[in-house]
Chains A and B, each alone.
Chain A
């Protein structure tokens, strides 16, 4: 177990020229020992590449990977002693559950009685003790995925456990159970866990620290709270939340800090303002949906600066509120302590304006 430090870039092409040639643009990243991390981003953002670089299945084209003080950049996955769980459960069809779990230890020449004890412990932890002697091939997908995980955990000195979208093929009602199991294991074993997913709920509930990635860049590392309240990059605001952040030209409203071109405000923080309230913009409701736990209102802003240039704003109202109807003229309060301002390069420069 050790702190994992990345300082690298990776390209699958032999002679990368532009940023778009890189699967991962130059980045520095530290994963603390014993932390639970999630790599979150859309397909093709480089999150699986980063995971495979940590595990050693892929060698970075530039830079280094350190485990603690050791440079492991050129080491094999086996030498790095990491465990990895893949999107589709990998099990050895011809073996029983117990033999599957024992396989990594057997390959490393561990003594038979030691293997037996360890397999027993892990099976106990995964609640699979009763199935140890059944053939693994006949089990359900979630049990198979538990075996994949167990093969990682069975080694006591494992540096980190990596997950590559492990719940993709699991039935929704079992996803919760398996995720809870992961949290429990993290709690008990204090292992470093790194979890790749494109599902924000999965990432935010699983991890202490979420790394949000897009187009080969890690745009923000932070807790669920930080990602929600202070998205450091417009992409984070857009990607996290349901629906994502509203973005408007900063020029529409007074009070923007210097250099800000865009303001972002979460649908949760948009308010319906009274007529004549300062800083509120007139808008027309185009859609009002009752989503059960809240009302989702979509409205278009009439911009005096350029007529015809409309901006859509979404807001969430709690279910007790008297929701406006389609066609209603409303005034939207967009400025407040939670309003974020973004520069030309989409990064955050300031938060909050006295309304």
Chain B
């Protein structure tokens, strides 16, 4: 029989403490707020699940959630195909490939609030290159006044900021395809489209799934750029979930509902992570089973 040695718990303790202070305790504070009505620092009332019920019935929240889902799907619908297209058209070898990689990666290096500022200035109708140019063309464009313009501007900004990530991932996937595949396809007389459909796309599947996961989760939590660019307006046109939460917690100081909503938001993200992760795992193990034979 193996000797039992409980001292090993001491080895786990530092990690346990770190996680407790960095994640568990803050989260518990939020849980604490979500079940109480804080009237003043020393007056509080236990309210049970009342805040959760109130938040779930909040029509503003429903709108923000719908807006958020629409935005995230739009982000995927534009960035994934565009990223694949970019990856396919990037040169594979030589100094050109290095140069293009640097240029493509540039927008990923810019801090998020700077991205917001860049587009805020870029889109201004009086001095911004984009805004002024559109005005000159006779298009009445204004991201501060027109809800549709504001929404589109946020989308274009996100596409500008993050499509390079999809492109770089796709590019890495493309470079991992052995030359023999292209040579075999030439010998089989495959068209360019057939090469894309039957070789490049299947071989990029793994990295594209990562790209979908990253872009979906990231856009679902978008905050900084629209905050700097539009501040959630005009009206509520670009008030996404994070923005909504911040307005509740910091703007109106409704700590109870904000805490309740934080937890719901957290659970939504967790659920999506779980769904996407199991989906990727399943596809991954199918791939491994195939590779295991080979």
Contacts and interface: CB of A to CB of B under 8 A. Distances in A.
B294 A84 contact: no
Identify whether the interface residues of B are mostly helix, strand, loop, or mixed: helix
Given A88-B178, A141-B293, A77 B187 contact: yes
A92 B187 contact: no
B183 A86 contact: yes
B58 interface: no
Contacts of B194: 107
B190 A140 contact: no
Interface in B155-194: 178, 180-181, 183-184, 186-191, 194
Interface string A144-169: 10001001100000000000000001
B203 to A, nearest CB: 8
A95 B188 contact: no
Given A140-B294, A144-B294, 8 more contacts: A55-B187, A57-B183, A83-B187, A90-B181, A92-B199, A108-B189, A148-B184, A152-B187
Contact of B202 (A55, A76, A82, A93): A93
Contacts of A151: 184, 188
A255 to B, nearest CB: 52
Nearest to A162: B187
B111 to A, nearest CB: 40
B284 to A, nearest CB: 14
B186 A57 contact: yes
Interface string B258-294: 0000000000000000000000000000000110011
Contacts of B294: 89, 140-141, 144, 169
A87 interface: yes
Interface in A125-182: 137-141, 144, 148, 151-152, 169
Contact of A138 (B198, B203, B293): B293
A78 interface: yes
A31 interface: no
Contacts of A92: 198-199, 202
A86 B290 contact: no
B171 to A, nearest CB: 20
A126 B191 CA distance: 27
Contacts of A139: 293
B196 to A, nearest CB: 12
Nearest to A58: B183
A57 B189 CA distance: 13
Interface in A42-89: 55, 57, 76-78, 82-84, 86-89
Nearest to B291: A137
Given A88-B178, A137-B290, A140-B294, A107 B183 contact: no
Interface of B: 178, 180-181, 183-184, 186-191, 194, 198-199, 202-203, 289-290, 293-294
A104 interface: yes
A165 to B, nearest CB: 11
A104 B180 CA distance: 16
Contacts of B190: 103, 107
Interface string A200-223: 000000000000000000000000
A94 B202 contact: yes
A144 B290 CA distance: 11
14 contacts: A78-B186, A82-B187, A86-B180, A88-B178, A89-B294, A90-B180, A93-B203, A94-B198, A94-B202, A107-B188, A107-B189, A107-B190, A139-B293, A141-B294
Given A94-B198, A107-B194, A76 B290 contact: no
A104 B188 contact: yes
Contacts of B181: 90
Contact of A84 (B183, B189, B198): B183
- Closest 6 A-B residue pairs measured CB to CB? A107-B189, A90-B184, A86-B180, A104-B188, A92-B198, A78-B189
Contacts of A76: 186
B148 to A, nearest CB: 39
Contacts of A83: 187
Given A82-B187, A103-B188, A107-B191, A88 B180 contact: yes
A88 B290 CA distance: 15
A87 B186 CA distance: 16
A162 B182 CA distance: 16
A87 B180 contact: yes
Interface string A266-303: 00000000000000000000000000000000000000
A90 B187 CA distance: 12
A92 to B, nearest CB: 5
B293 A140 contact: yes
A90 B182 CA distance: 9
A87 B181 CA distance: 11
A87 B190 CA distance: 20
B184 A84 contact: yes
A89 to B, nearest CB: 8
B285 to A, nearest CB: 12
Contact of A78 (B187, B199, B202, B289): B187
